[in-house]
Amino acid sequence: MFGKTRPRKNSVQRSSSSPIERLDVKDLHFADEMPAGRDVDLSGRGTAFVRVAEGPEGAATVLLVHGLFATTDLNWSLAIPVLASRFRVVAPDLRGHGRGLPTRRFAGDECADDLAAIVRALELGPVIVVGYSLGGLVAQLFARRYPDMVAGLVLCATATSFQVPTGQGPLRAVDWAVRRAPEPLRRAALMAMLAPKSAKTPRGQWMMSQVRRHDTVAMLDAIAEAGRFNSSDWLGANTVPAAVIVTAEDRTVPAETQRAMSRTLGGSNSFLDGSTPLRAMTKPVLTSSISLAGIGVKT
């Protein structure tokens, strides 16, 4: 979810651990400055918030799609300047997340349509779409719905289907109850769940100011959407160059599930990042995966 640049020293059995890792602020690093953000009018859809780093003249465009509970600033802060040395980088907040489009519901196909509207509005042409976690779900749908807009596909810490606890058994009742709770109570619960250690430090306060912007019902919708998602029957029809970054210590999406997605993509180029998924988006492995996927890159 956030940009962690150092792996945890202890490697322990994680099967009983919570899928939400409570991070320590001192282990989190973000860029001091972000590229300019702009509000982009999407005809008939609303106004999207997008970060844009122009990159070298004539460079290919990378469209970054962040994960659940995150924003562009939280997920891609350190990746954007690395990528911008070789690519034009465009990174929106998803609907219901951060400064993203207001929404009555979060749905993957709506988010894919939002991306298409951004590509049209900014006249980007075909893009290399990079999806992280929930953003990988959206990126897969975008590539399926708008193949003419996609020059390449990079998927990280994501899958063709997700195991979502609230989609099964008694926990469905928890989801039902939370949806009917007063908004202040839902927001307090979200903030408590995502608060890092040392949240009262300046960096921690900035992180929580990003989280505070989320639409709490949209977060519940996004979790439910992940529970329903299954691309295993159609992702294999993808014809554009593709790469998968496998996050070996992922608590939420097991590494073997990610490798299975790579096999579904016809044995796409697979890159093992031996750290947590939080760290994978901050390192040159992302640039390498885009380049070595066979996607045209100007050097």
pLDDT at 225: 94
For the chain, state the CA radius of gyration: 18
**Residue whose structure tokens are 């994978």:** 280
* Mean of pLDDT values over 222-231: 94
Residue of higher predicted confidence among 52 and 289? 52
pLDDT averaged over every residue in the chain: 81
Secondary structure tally for the chain: helices H, strands E: 11, 8
- The structure tokens listed for 143 are 């590539």
Contact 80, 37 (CB under 8 A): no
pLDDT at 272: 63
Is the per-residue pLDDT at 217 higher than 70? yes
Alpha helices in the chain (DSSP H): 72-76, 79-84, 108-121, 134-145, 171-179, 183-194, 202-211, 216-228, 255-264, 277-280, 285-292
- Backbone φ/ψ region at 195: left (φ over 0), alpha (ψ -120 to 50), beta: beta
Euclidean distance between CA atoms 97 and 77, whole angstroms:
16
CA distances in angstroms from 19 to 132, 152, 278, listed in the order given: 16, 29, 12
Please name every residue paired with 243 in a beta bridge, in sequence order, or none if there are none.
154, 269
Closest CA to 67 of 206, 202, 222, 193: 222
- Among 91-95, 106-110, 186-190, 230-234, which stretch is predicted with the lowest mean pLDDT? 186-190
Confidence of residue 167 (pLDDT cuts 50, 70, 90): low
Sort strands 61-65 and 127-132 into parallel, antiparallel or unpaired: parallel
Contact 281, 76 (CB under 8 A): yes
Closest CA to 64 of 190, 55, 292, 56: 55
pLDDT at 282: 41
Confidence of residue 132 (pLDDT cuts 50, 70, 90): very high
Is the per-residue pLDDT at 110 higher than 90? yes
* Beta-sheet strand order (sheet of 269-273): 37-42, 46-53, 88-92, 61-65, 127-132, 150-156, 242-247, 269-273
* Mean of pLDDT values over 157-164: 90
The distance of Cα 94 from the centroid of its chain, to the nearest Å, equals 9
- Give pLDDT tens digits for 231-283: 999 999 999 889 898 888 787 888 999 999 999 998 666 666 544 444 444 44
Cα distance from N-terminal residue to C-terminal residue, the chain = 30
pLDDT at 248: 82
- Give pLDDT tens digits for 44-66: 999 999 999 999 999 999 999 99
Euclidean distance between CA atoms 90 and 119, whole angstroms:
9
Q: What angle do CA 286, 261, 297 make, to 5 degrees?
A: 30
* Mean of pLDDT values over 166-170: 57
Confidence of residue 208 (pLDDT cuts 50, 70, 90): confident
Euclidean distance between CA atoms 111 and 175, whole angstroms:
22
Three-state DSSP class for residue 277:
helix
- Among 161-175, 181-195, 197-211, which stretch is predicted with the lowest mean pLDDT? 161-175
CA distances in angstroms from 91 to 51, 72, 238, listed in the order given: 5, 6, 23
pLDDT at 279: 46
pTM: 0.83
